[in-house]
Structure 1
Amino acid sequence: MVASSGTTSARRALAQLAHADLEMSATLADDHDWHVREELAWATTHPEILERLLGDVHPQVRGMVARNPKITSSQRRALAKDPQAVTRAIVATCENCPDDILFELAQDKSANVRFCLTLHGKNRPLMELLMNDSDSTVADTARSSLSRPPLSGAELFP
């Protein structure tokens, strides 16, 4: 079976198939290569696989769960409190992230997470809050984001 013994490229391609059956997805969720699990986290439609990948050891896999359109709001809230800043930063770039989570992340201890929020330039109240950030790069970028079209999270975390 390709899902367990194929090349990394083949396994990544399988992981990108949103309609992959549950058994194949479960095999890919245990893959030793985090890139395969990351592709699966972004593409799967199986709630049980998403739940499983929420506890993945790699922060970028957990972050890609946040970008999956099938994620629940409680799962996204949990990821916004992830111990790893890279996971929280990916949550901060999600275009469909609710405002209350974005404003919670605006108080994050990581300047990188707060910087990622500046991608939401269309959210004027969020940018006005971040314009007063203690980190000058975050504050300056929030100011300038009000005068440019917002970037998408996919442009930072392809």
Structure 2
Amino acid sequence: MTLALDLVRYGPAMPDRFPEITSVEQFIRLRLSEDPAERDRSAWAAMPMPVWDELVREHPDMRFWAAHNRSCPPEVLAELVKDDAWHVRGRVASRRNCPAELLEKLANDPHDAVRNTVATHQRSPRSTVLRLTDDPWAVIAEAARTRIANWPQTAPNETGTDKPDTAPVSYQLEPNHQGPAQARFGPGPLRLRRRAVPLGPQASYGPE
């Protein structure tokens, strides 16, 4: 489900429309549900910090879906960028509101798809994107050079979020929402989707 469709379906204050999830067991039940409305709740609803801690610590198969939750706190995201699974790190990087300091760390990620997401992310600091202009994968280096070439003269916090849309190539993760089996074990056979990514404030980095 895209951000645009979510906005149509639920409105702009979506997390407030879902009751808080109060236990790890409840989160897992909602994530594994065959009811799309329950899976949507697992993707939007807030949780108390002890629930987040237990979920990430005790259920590694749920870490992708923890990163996918739009209410995931920054301190939890900071733990998830250390995950051994590249698709978990990639989901953190693809969040529209990913903190700039995490994008800086992920610019050194061993997986090409994660680094490419950082190169095209609207919140990546200029210094981070500049480093990626020398990336060994030509696709990433090209995307980073395009961003630097179109960087605003003045941009708050070194990010280019006030730049009008341009479109470097990006290869982005596509989570699979097709059923409870994929919900438990992550997005299933992962693939990268080639797309043009706008650099301005209208840019979308997957469902957020």
TM-score higher than 0.5: yes
Shift of 1:152: 2.1
Contact 1:29–1:40, Cα closer than 8 Å, also in 2: no
How far apart, CA to CA, are the structure 2 residues paired with 1:42 and 1:132? Answer: 36
How far apart, CA to CA, are the structure 2 residues paired with 1:44 and 1:64? Answer: 11
How far apart, CA to CA, are the structure 2 residues paired with 1:52 and 1:17? Answer: 23
State the match for 2:126 in structure 1. Answer: 124
The 3 A distance-change label for structure 1 pair 49 and 43 is farther
Correspondence 1:153 to 2:205: yes
How far apart, CA to CA, are the structure 1 residues paired with 2:74 and 2:120? Answer: 21
Task: Report the more deviating stretch, 133-142 or 55-64.
Answer: 55-64
After superposition, the CA RMSD in angstroms is 3.3
Correspondence 1:98 to 2:99: yes
Contact 2:119–2:129, Cα closer than 8 Å, also in 1: yes
Task: Report the more deviating stretch, 21-30 or 95-104.
Answer: 21-30
Q: Which structure has the higher relative contact order (CA within 8 Å, separation 6+)?
A: 2
Q: What 5-or-longer segments of structure 2 have no aligned partner? A: 1-14, 151-165, 167-197
| 1:57 equivalent among 51, 54, 61 | 61
**Normalization by structure 2: what TM-score?**
0.54
The 3 A distance-change label for structure 1 pair 91 and 24 is closer
Contact 1:121–1:142, Cα closer than 8 Å, also in 2: no
Aligned residue runs from structure 1 range 79-98, under 5 A? 79-98=80-99
**Normalization by structure 1: what TM-score?**
0.68
Q: What is the count of residue pairs matched by the alignment?
A: 139
Q: Deviations over 1:31-50 (max 9, x none)?
A: 57378686344311222544
Aligned residue runs from structure 1 range 1-158, under 5 A? 18-20=17-19, 22=21, 26-31=25-30, 33=32, 39-47=40-48, 48-54=50-56, 55-58=59-62, 60-65=64-69, 68-69=70-71, 71-121=72-122, 123-146=125-148, 147=150, 148=166, 149-150=198-199, 151-154=203-206, 157=207
Shift of 1:145: 3.1
Shift of 1:133: 1.0
How far apart, CA to CA, are the structure 2 residues paired with 1:29 and 1:17? Answer: 20
How far apart, CA to CA, are the structure 2 residues paired with 1:134 and 1:81? Answer: 22
Structure number having the greater strand percentage: 2
Q: What 5-or-longer segments of structure 1 have no aligned partner? A: 1-15
